[in-house]
Amino acid sequence: MAYRTSGIRLGVKTRVFHLGDYRRATVGPGQDVPDDYFFVNGEDISDLGDCEVSTEALDDASASSVLLRQKILRKCREDIYHFFDKEKGQIAIYDAVNPLAAGRRVLAKEFAKHDVQTLFIESACDDVRIIEENVRSVKISSPDYVGWTSDDAVQHYLARITAKIPHFETMNEPELNYIKMINAGERLSVNNCSFGYLSHRIVFYLLNLHIKSRHTYFARAGNPSKGDSYKLDASLAEQGIDYALKMGDTLIKHREEERQALIDRGGPEAPLKSLTIWTSPRRRTVETAHYLQEKGYRVRQRSQMSQLNPGVCEKMSERRIRLEYPDEVQKHEADPYHHRYPRAESYHDLAVRLEPIILELEREQNDLLIIAHESVLRVLYGYLMACNATDIPTLSFPRNEIIEIIPASYNNQAKRIHIPGLPDEIIPASPEDIRIPVASSGVVSPMNGLGSPMSGAQSPMEGNRSPDKDYATSKEPGSGTHLLVERALRGV
């Protein structure tokens, strides 16, 4: 990870730079690199630099392979510097393998010349079960293994790991900042040379991660009895109570159908994973969860999940807002994510408020249903699906759908579950939001997952769309500060 010291804060602008993607883009789709591309070049260790290099042989790489490696490296670094200097980025997550200490030192010095600090993250594992499960569920999903059978891909990747083990140099450089994760978070080792606030937050975040699979569901609260209002904490209307029953029954039925489908495909006849429910303390969200609570599901109220405060513009029409606050409207249209109206919160403010929820979401091992206002769902969906921050205010969650986030290695999926039998008047998006329409940014996110769950998301990666129209896909979370994180992986 690399970062500049100025402007470090939560909500910082972040992007992932995966060197494997640059390699594949350079050699072309379906094309292989030369056999010696991943060989260690013993004569000039600086050639390794921040290269995604393997040590599958002790032979030196050929001159042509070294030149190809340098070309790919140069393009990746140019993009990182452009991100920092031209796009005002603050954190660059550099996803590559640097197995040798000399190469890591070269990398840190190279970025220091550009006033960029580095934080290395090494993931080490000596648990054979974790390694094999990770390879089978994660690595064979890599674009490198498109068209391979699962067994062949697993065998090939395990061979790559085995080849690296004798030559990998674990991080012990006293002059570098680094974090070592052992056995997927079982232990963390930290070398703190010049940690700032953001580096400490990264350590805290990593402490909350786990590798267990969990489905997350998003649902709107039922409509209240006295009209939608931020200030008025009203109970559910009759329609809202009916919605709560139908939403609960739909979710229960869907989870059981998914379990049965897994069994039919040859999966184990295991019981359903426990479901935990989070709501805000507001009456309508709490009452929306009552039906499921009576069926024995555990419900927790989370104060941080209260909706975005619309400030003085609550209940105002768009025309009135434009007349009374023309300067604010202009600012809002320019930056709907960071702008706040008088005495209101911005979506960035809400995201900062939700940070403890995001950390606990990562720590949660049960399946999770979140019942909240649409503004809260937008931020949490944006995090899980790696949406561009400028598009978060435009995400739409109609009341007749439950959104299911299905975790995956290279792409999360967002599936829409239809709730039948609801009247049309309670389905539209929340009317209490400030009614200033903001067009989507039109900027392609560097990760998959840009888009509303309403429309489905098109992947910016080669323009691919999920085969199921009900799915949106996301890659690693990546919209958001000025820092370079360098990742080194080893399985031992």
DSSP string, 142-197: SGGGTT--HHHHHHHHHHHHHHHTTT------TTS-EEEEETTTTEEEEE-SS--H
Q: Tokens representing 250? A: 């739909």
Cβ-count burial 416-439 (b if 16+ within 10 Å, e if not): bbebeebeeebeeebebbbebebe
State the residue for tokens 């648990």: 127
- Separation CA 350–CA 131 (nearest Å): 37
Give the whole-angstrom CA distance, residue 447 versus residue 358. 19
By three-state DSSP, how is residue 310 classified?
Answer: coil
CB 343: neighbour CB atoms within 10 A? 11
Residue 46 near residue 156, CB atoms below 8 Å:
no
3-state helix, strand, coil in the chain (%, to 5): 40, 15, 45
Distance in angstroms (rounded) separating the CA atoms of residues 315 and 260: 46
Q: Which helix (H) or strand (E) holds 72?
A: helix 63-85
What residues pair up with 277 in beta bridges, in sequence order?
A: 299, 369
How far apart are the C-alpha atoms of 406 and 468, rounded to whole Å? 14
Burial classification of residue 110, based on how many CB atoms lie within 10 Å of its CB (0-12 exposed, 13-18 middle, 19 or more buried): middle
How far, in Å, CA of 354 to CA of 474, rounded? 20
- Are β-strands 187-191 and 178-182 bridged in parallel, bridged antiparallel, or unpaired? antiparallel
Q: Evaluate whether 43 touches 119 at the Cβ level (below 8 Å).
A: no
Task: Decide if 365 contacts 212 (C-beta within 8 A).
Answer: yes
* CB 215, CB 406: distance < 8 Å: yes
Any bridge partners for residue 230, and if so which? Answer: none
> In Å, how far from its chain's centre is CA 214?
14
Our answer to whether residue 115 is catalytic in this structure is no
Residue recorded with tokens 């809400």: 350
Single out the catalytic residue among 47, 50, 95, 367: 95
Helix spans in 213-266 (H) = 238-264
Catalytic residues: 95
